[in-house]
Structure 1
Amino acid sequence: MTLPIGDYRVEISASGYINFTAYATVNENYNTYMETFLLVEGADGETGTATGQINNALTGNGVEGVSLSVRKGWNNSQNGDIVASTVTSSNGEYTLTLPIGNYTVTTEKAGYVSATINIIVQPEITDSQNGTITPNLSGNNYRIVLTWGSNPRDLDSHMVGSLSDGNPFHVYYSQKSSYDGKIQVCNLDVDDTTSYGPETVTLNATTNKPYYYYIYHYAGSGSLATSEAQIKIYQGESLVGKFNVPTDLGNNRYWNVFAIVDGQIIVKNTITSSPDVSYVSDSESSTMMLDFDDTGEDQEIYLYFCDKNLTQYKKILIYQFSY
């Protein structure tokens, strides 16, 4: 659907299924892909139980004492009443008994970024309704968390960028960390090879050069398009970006998701046969301008290197002459 930018509620109904509600934001200049909708078969009045585990994005282990609050619909952190609440056990597990349907669970714990997970409740027991939370970050650090479904079993996170000396780095399962001198620039915190995730990368952006993030379908049946993959980007104490895998761009093995440059997230969101790590142009990270100065006895031409906001940070005299 083509819509004006803004926030929307999506409602889906089908005979024999519980009505499904989800919320979405339509942004300018790129497509918004929603999750794969999981309709629940049954009738109003039936109840069921959802079970799952809330995991630490940095370790993959369950987190104790996470407060969970539940609202109807997906991607719903504030609309309507809280219909249930609970707290995770010592290994991060939880159990919720609710009318069958689809729900959003908001997770909160001191020292962690508040997050949401979408779950479904079917008749009897629906397991593996898992979620991920990440400890708060500081400085220029970003944390990128990948989750997906049961197939393909292994999706790999890749981060490509440049160090301050101009040399490239590539962090992935075979090279899990990169340093710029003594500073750790990027680290693959968790590498999941057996479905679901989380698979987590932490980035310390030390330069104004682009950092490219993409996913590779490494192993397992199915495709990226059918993987139900989702990526969340965190900075500080906030979620700053969320992407669902495109479902209409073919079955190639590389998902080029985004680049980070000068604190900005540049969205790509394509699926291709090889990784794309060149779509951020120089003009998006810096600008060069010429200026002619004739206020003095000599005439001078300067070259200015500016950031994308046209704030001067370097001035070079390239030519001087007199009449």
Structure 2
Amino acid sequence: MFSKKVVLTIITAILILGGCGNSNSGGFAVSQISGTVATGEAASATVTIVGSNGETVVTNADSQGNYSADTTYLFSPMMIKAVLDRDGSTLYSFTATPNKNVNVTPLTSYIVNHAAVALETSGGASYMFNQFQSANSPSNIDENVQNSITTLNNYISTTMSANDVDGFDHFSDEFSANHEGYDALLDALDIDIYEDDVIIRINSNILNTLNYNIDVNEINASGIIYDITTDNPIANANITATDRMGNSVSTTTDINGSFTLAVETVRVYDFTITATGYEDQLVPNIPSFVFTETSVGDVPMLPTGASGTTALSGRIIDARTADTGISDATLIIRSGFGERLATPVATTSTDSNGTFSINLPYGFYTVEMQHDLYYKVFKNINIYGGSTEYDFSMLADLTAINASTNFFATITLNWDADPSDLDSHLTGPDSVSGRYHLNFANRTIRSSNYYSSNDACSLGILASLDRDRTSSTNGLLPETTTICKVESGGMYKYYVHHYSGTGTMSQGNAEVIVNTKNGTARTFTAPSTNSVGYHDIWHVFNMDSYGNIYPVNEMIGNDVYDSTIFASSSRSSEIGIFENLPSK
């Protein structure tokens, strides 16, 4: 007869062994995994590993792209997500067995995304990562990953042979980011990465993770170059756009400081601006991933020899509740526009009211804002002359806040002082009226089955316009929209309407940022093509119920019938929702 002690020991052993299993595939936890994050160069990154049981660990890849993590409590299979420090782009990887080495590269990201699509995981890799986090990972992933590897290798076999890496396992074979061997393969391939999209060009074939078709070869990149000391345009400035492979195209600015340059679609460019009598200017990581045009924006230039120091001050606020300052936020300041990796030239933090102040030499800087409960924010700023004040905003991280299960996506609209008022408009499926229209006159959409007086994502709230900005300050104070719940199979459409004020949305540097709970993020800048100004309507993007974002990025019309560009016969049927809006 067993004693109670023996029985308890046996039961404990059974529970421990049972706890090692994967509820989906019977896998076992591994004690540690490590690997290399690389894109053709070493990539420092934040690495998140999630097991099929929903448990996660977070670690960092160092400047050589090396990472390691204790995964004792994670069940296999596992997914890995690396957010690159250099530009915030995201790569994915996968392991079905307790491998001790798991690489994260553009090739693993491409393979995982296509395996997810083959599994009818319509949101691709980002959506499948979210399924893992919910302990609801799909079955047969490994089989589809192997099929995707075969497909990719058929395309790149010649390049693999040329670099002596035939038979190399993209996921588990070890390599170093030293431009040799497998890393030389990544160097040789024509790869572009933007946000969580990967583009691989093989001769006339374009392999990609996009959820939309590439139907144009070139688009225009435009911008305005001006003197920061006088605000006057700079004529005859030289503009050069260079892609990752070193190919470049150039032009010069006209008498108004404007330029337009044809660039290839779905690439990422670094723009270099030079002008006699001015310091050179670099604007990096300008994407051409939307198929109308891309904007470099209004780029200031500092005269050669200009020097001095001035105070940078301001406030960081919560993007959804503008009256709430964010305390203990860290500001990391680096010299140059779009600079995320260089050694900081200064750091400071906000006080209990969210305010900050710091002295900086004249110049151009990238400000990185960090807080544990908010998405990182990067902003380009100009420092010249008297004291400079900027009010910044940060958006609560849907994966970090306790209420994240009640949020599906957040949309932030930023712009400068002019135009004085731009408005967010969202339409989505509604079981009662067919489609709802969220706007400043109808700021909360509720389910017909529930009622709530709160504007947050509480019971019954489908979507809310959290802030309707009607005036501007020097900083980019936002207008924010939250999608709380989505209808399966539904399509959500987001627009911006020029309600009042001078200039165009493009001239006002209008920018839309959308973040989904799945981890997808997209940034759009207002196009200048077909833009009249007052009453323009910008159709920014559509989004499905998986969180897939489909870029539109077009000025679709103007709600004034006598528009000089949009005749009644060519007006979009969508414009009707903007007519007869009430006054504010």
TM-score, L = length of structure 2: 0.44
Name the aligned partner's letter for residue 417 of structure 2. Answer: S
Contact 1:34 1:244 in 2 (8 A): no
Shift of 1:178: 0.2
Gaps of 5+ in 1: 279-323
Deviation digits for residues 185-239 of structure 1 (CA, Å, limit 9, x no counterpart): 1100011101243110001241121111111111122222322111111224957
Deviation digits for residues 135-192 of structure 1 (CA, Å, limit 9, x no counterpart): 1222461111111111111111111111256721111110001012333111000111
Match of 1:264 among 542, 548, 570: 548
Name the aligned partner's letter for residue 498 of structure 2. Answer: H
The alignment yields a C-alpha RMSD, in angstroms, of 2.5
Name the aligned partner's letter for residue 68 of structure 1. Answer: L
1:39 aligns with: 301
SS across alignment from 1:32: strand
- Counterparts in 2 of 1:43 and 1:126: CA distance versus 1, 3 Å: farther
2:112 aligns with: none
Shift of 1:130: 2.5
1:305 aligns with: none
1:170 aligns with: 437
Aligned residues: 277
Cα distance in 2 between the residues matched to 1:17 and 1:50: 23
Gaps of 5+ in 2: 1-260, 399-403, 451-459, 560-570, 575-584
Q: Which runs of 4+ in 1 moved over 4 A?
A: 274-278
- Counterparts of 1:76-91 in structure 2, within 5 Å, are 76-78=339-341, 80-91=342-353
- Counterparts of 1:206-217 in structure 2, within 5 Å, are 206-207=486-487, 208-217=489-498
- Counterparts of 1:115-126 in structure 2, within 5 Å, are 115-126=377-388
The structure showing larger relative contact order (alpha-carbon pairs under 8 Å, at least 6 residues apart) is: 1
Cα distance in 1 between the residues matched to 2:518 and 2:373: 9
Cα distance in 2 between the residues matched to 1:88 and 1:4: 40
1:296 aligns with: none
Match of 1:228 among 509, 512, 519: 509
SS across alignment from 1:35: strand
Match of 1:11 among 272, 282, 297: 272
Name the aligned partner's letter for residue 465 of structure 2. Answer: L
TM-score, L = length of structure 1: 0.77
Deviation digits for residues 17-70 of structure 1 (CA, Å, limit 9, x no counterpart): 443222224244523323322334563543333222212111113212110111
Percent identical pairs in the alignment equals 26
Matched, 1:53 2:315: yes
Name the aligned partner's letter for residue 486 of structure 2. Answer: T
Cα distance in 2 between the residues matched to 1:41 and 1:93: 31
The structure with the largest helix share of the pair is: 2
2:471 aligns with: 194
- Counterparts in 2 of 1:25 and 1:151: CA distance versus 1, 3 Å: closer
Match of 1:136 among 391, 397, 401: 397
Stretch moving more, 37-46 or 204-213? 37-46
1:273 aligns with: 558
Match of 1:111 among 373, 381, 406: 373
Matched, 1:156 2:452: no
- Counterparts in 2 of 1:245 and 1:29: CA distance versus 1, 3 Å: closer
Matched, 1:203 2:483: yes
The structure with the largest strand share of the pair is: 1
Name the aligned partner's letter for residue 7 of structure 1. Answer: V
Cα distance in 2 between the residues matched to 1:22 and 1:270: 23
Shift of 1:105: 0.8
Cα distance in 2 between the residues matched to 1:117 and 1:44: 23
SS across alignment from 2:506: helix
Matched, 1:65 2:328: yes
Cα distance in 1 between the residues matched to 2:409 and 2:461: 13
Q: Name the larger-Rg structure.
A: 2
- Counterparts in 2 of 1:142 and 1:224: CA distance versus 1, 3 Å: same
Cα distance in 1 between the residues matched to 2:275 and 2:496: 34
2:537 aligns with: 254
SS across alignment from 2:301: coil
SS across alignment from 2:268: strand
Cα distance in 2 between the residues matched to 1:106 and 1:244: 20
SS across alignment from 1:221: coil
Stretch moving more, 201-210 or 235-244? 235-244
SS across alignment from 1:33: strand
Cα distance in 2 between the residues matched to 1:38 and 1:239: 31
Match of 1:20 among 240, 265, 281: 281
1:241 aligns with: 522
Contact 1:71 1:82 in 2 (8 A): yes
